[in-house]
Structure formats: C-alpha cells, structure tokens
Amino acid sequence: MTVASPETRLLSDQAYALIEREMTKFPPERKRSALIAALAIAQDEIGWTSREVIEELARWFELPPIAVYEVASFYTLFNTRPVGRYKLSLCTNLPCALHDGTKAAEHLKQRLGIGFGETTPDGLFTLVESECLGSCGDAPVLLVNNKRMRSFLDNAALDALIDELRAEAQGSAAAGTDGHSGATGQPGVAGDGDGR
C-alpha cells in the first residue's frame, strides 16, 4: 500500500487503521477484496466518496482510480455526490410498490418538498430510490444513511421518522456535534436519481 503523507491524508488515522485491518483479512494479492469496506469507512467519515477519496483509495490499494470509481458508482450505498445529512433510501421495487411504497414515496416527496435524487434546501434530507432491501414482508421499507431500516411505513410512521430525524439534527446542532458519522455539514447536491 502507498501511505499518504500526513499533510495530504484525507481520512483520520483511525479510518486508515480500519482500512488496513480490512485489507489483512485477505491475502496480499487479493487485498482489492477489501475495497468495498474501505469505501464504506471513508464514506462514514467524510459523508460521500469524493473524487479525492477515490484517488486516495486507489493509491492505497495500488489500483487505477477508475477501478475504485467503478465499485463506488456500481453500488447505490455509495454516494459519489454530496448528500444531505440523512439519506432516505426508499425501496421502490415491486413488492414495496404493491404494498403502498408508491404512496410512501409521494408522501415523502410532498412532506420534504423534493423529488428522488434531490436534497432539501437546508441540506438535511436527500431522497433516493433504492433497490430491494430484502425485507419485502415488511413493505414499504426505507433505509436511513445505509444503516437504519424502517418498515411498515404509512404516512404517520413517515411523519414520525422525519420529525425524529429533525429533532436529532437540532439536538446535535445545539450540542455542537454533527450527530452521526457521514454528515457533510453542507447542503447536498441533487443526485442523478439513484443516490449517486
């Protein structure tokens, strides 16, 4: 691996240690297998997988940057553009769509004032369509920041979730923290409709 100098490092020492630990799980000639974990570690720390992060990981893994970008852009859990503090990934696949997923999508769009692939003006929420989240029996389902799944989402449950996240953001702002890893601290940029 090519270690970045302290002046040019994009991630914390802890993040690099976690990436290195993931790499040791594979034989040296297969260290590329840790790339998905490395992208997730970087995104958790910075909030998205920027061009600079992709280039840094490419150096770290001794890969061409395009090889890292191909992985980051293939999986919708990676944000290759800035997103809001809370990325709401709503499943729109058939089982969810047949069980009020479409209604949930319309309610969220109306409540947040944005469409899929867009971020609220305050930078708090980004709404994206998700591929199947593997919880079809609990439809409709939504993932918050790729970490927290919410199920059986009627309008009341969606409103409660939005209120909970707004209160969480206000509470951490009052405490002077970002409230969770992955917060960008800046208004997000509208994506291309799939969270990237």
Q: Please check whether residues 64 and 100 belong to one and the same domain.
A: no
- What is the extent of the structural domain holding 64? 13-74
Q: Please check whether residues 64 and 91 belong to one and the same domain.
A: no
What pTM did the predictor assign? 0.76
Asked if the structure places residue 101 within a domain, the reply is: yes
Are residues 191 and 81 in contact, defined by beta-carbon separation less than 8 angstroms? Answer: yes
| CATH number (domain holding residue 54) | 1.10.10
Q: What is the C-alpha separation between 54 and 58, in angstroms, rounded?
A: 6
Q: For helices 102-112 and 155-175, what crossing angle results, to 10°?
A: 40
Asked if the structure places residue 98 within a domain, the reply is: yes
Sheet of 148-150, strand order: 118-119, 125-130, 86-91, 142-144, 148-150
- H/E run at residue 44: helix 35-46
Q: Please check whether residues 103 and 169 belong to one and the same domain.
A: yes
> Residue 107 is encoded by which pair of tokens?
């309610």
pLDDT of res. 190:
33
Please write the tens of the pLDDT for every residue from 28-77.
999 999 999 999 999 999 889 999 999 999 999 999 999 999 999 998 88
Domains contained in the chain, number: 2
pLDDT of res. 177:
60
Please write the tens of the pLDDT for every residue from 144-166.
998 899 999 999 999 999 999 99
Q: Which residues pair with 13 in a beta bridge?
A: none
Q: Nearest CA to 130 among 75, 174, 82?
A: 75
pLDDT of res. 7:
56
Q: Please check whether residues 110 and 65 belong to one and the same domain.
A: no
